[in-house]
Structure 1
Amino acid sequence: MTDASLARDIDACCRLTGEFTLRSGQVSHEYFDKYLFESDPALLARVADAMVGLLPEGTELLGGLEMGGIPIATALAARVSLPALFVRKQAKEYGTCKLAEGPAVEGRRVTLVEDVITTGGAVRDATRALREAGAVVETVLCAIDRSPAGENPLADVRLEVRPVLTKADLDAARES
């Protein structure tokens, strides 16, 4: 069940209008600036609290995607006492050369944490890389799912998307 007050507060804080090019290359007349809620301690806490009930049983690690998923994964990890991973867009080319900073992932069940999903490109890339490293990745939690209603943009990599809010939730909050 959607928290209408959270949807209203996130929408009021984060929805920008104009012309924006998304990571996918799509052009949108609306943009949800997730950093506006992620930098607000009260809103970030509410999003993390809403994710607690979405977390799959058996999760061993929370994989926050660079950059927006990291603060959410950290806040969620503190609530559920699970370790967090910080998943880069690509492995760094120096030092440990890791893709995911934190505990080892091999053989462990990782639930990804992302801020906004539209086409799922960054999540898809992280899923493939973590699976190649031996992680079991089946679910992604996200604060906002902007993908078309009823579609799973990550079905091709067999990943379940569990959103706190959808674009429809935010649109409904704006209209109320």
Structure 2
Amino acid sequence: MNTEQVLDEFRAAGALREGHFVLSSGLHSGVFLQKNLVFQHPDRTERLCRALAEKIRAAVGGVDICVSPAVGGIIPGYETARQLGVPSVYVEREGGEFRLRRAFEIPEGARVAMVEDIVTTGLSSRECVEAIRKAGGNVVVAACIVDRSGGRADPGAPLVALAQLDVPAYPADQLPPELAAIPVEDPGSRRLSK
């Protein structure tokens, strides 16, 4: 599956949006990928995650477990793990840091695929990778459905992306005039608990 085919799945689900959005990173962008509109469809999710699992296998061979950051990574992490035939667990924020909870464990030295939904800066991915390593896992790949950084994000492990975009994102104080003129939407969830 190539980038255009991935974007076709997003378009067909009404998930490729244009306007003025605050991303979970806090950066502003004229494009937002509302992945939950894609992930509500099991057939779309299965197609995307099967293709991502194939890319993971091609890049690193087999893995023992998939670990994702909650909340956005849970669905693609689970389905990618299903396609790989391995368990799926996730980390959650506790005291501001990602941790394994719910009696989840990572076997010492396990080959881990960290699976994320969309990467912009790589911050959530890096935090997830760090939590996995603290728990004893060997992160062999950081995988995502869409890397919107154009390959510039640093997830803390080798990145495998099903689709790669180069979508500009700006700090709030450096918005281009055409973006600043549009009312802002904050469709993410990271700031809801603050």
Question: C-alpha distance in 1, partners of 2:85/2:140?
Answer: 20
Say if 1:89 and 1:122, in contact at 8 Å, map to a contact too.
Answer: no
One-letter amino acid of the structure 2 residue matched with residue 90 of structure 1: E
TM-fit CA distance, 1:165: 1.1
Q: Deviations over 1:73-123 (max 9, x none)?
A: 21122222101111213379xxxxx52553334321111110000001111
Report the more deviating stretch, 98-107 or 53-62: 98-107
Cα pair distance change 1:91/1:79, threshold 3 Å: farther
Q: Corresponding residue for 1:21?
A: 22
Alignment partner of 1:89: what SS?
strand
Larger relative contact order, structure 1 or 2 (CA cutoff 8 Å, min sep 6): 2
Q: Could you tell me how far apart the structure 1 residues matched to 2:95 and 2:45 are? A: 27
Specify the alignment match of 2:79 in structure 1. 75
SS of the aligned residue for 1:106 comes to coil
Code of the aligned partner of 1:22: L
User: Residue 7 of structure 1 aligns to which amino acid in structure 2?
Assistant: L
- Could you tell me which residue of structure 1 aligns to residue 126 of structure 2? 124
3-state SS in 2 of match to 1:44: helix
Aligned to 1:7: 7
1:65 counterpart = 2:51:
no
Q: Which residue of 1 aligns with 2:162?
A: 164
Maintained 8 Å contact 1:105/1:130? no
SS, match of residue 128 in structure 1: helix
Please name the residue that 1:48 is paired with.
Answer: 49
d(CA) in 2 for partners of 1:65 and 1:167?
21
Instruction: Give the drift of 1:150.
Output: 4.1
- Return the TM-score normalized by structure 2: 0.73
The amino acid across from 1:66 in the alignment is: A
Please, what is the CA RMSD of the aligned residues? 2.3
One-letter amino acid of the counterpart of residue 39, structure 2? E
The DSSP-based 3-state class of the residue aligned with 2:55 is: coil
Contact 2:7 / 2:16 at 8 angstroms: preserved in 1? no
Unaligned segments of structure 2, at least 5 residues: 167-194
Contact in 2 for aligned 1:145/1:163 (Cα 8 Å): yes
| TM-score w.r.t. length of structure 1 | 0.80
What amino acid is aligned across from residue 65 of structure 1 in structure 2? P
Q: Percent identity?
A: 26
Note the C-alpha offset of 1:27: 0.7
SS in 1 for 2:81: helix
* SS across alignment from 1:76: helix
Q: Which residue of 2 aligns with 1:174?
A: none
1:114/1:123 contact within 8 Å kept:
yes
Contact 1:116–1:146 at 8 Å: present in 2 too? yes
Q: CA deviation at 1:5?
A: 3.3
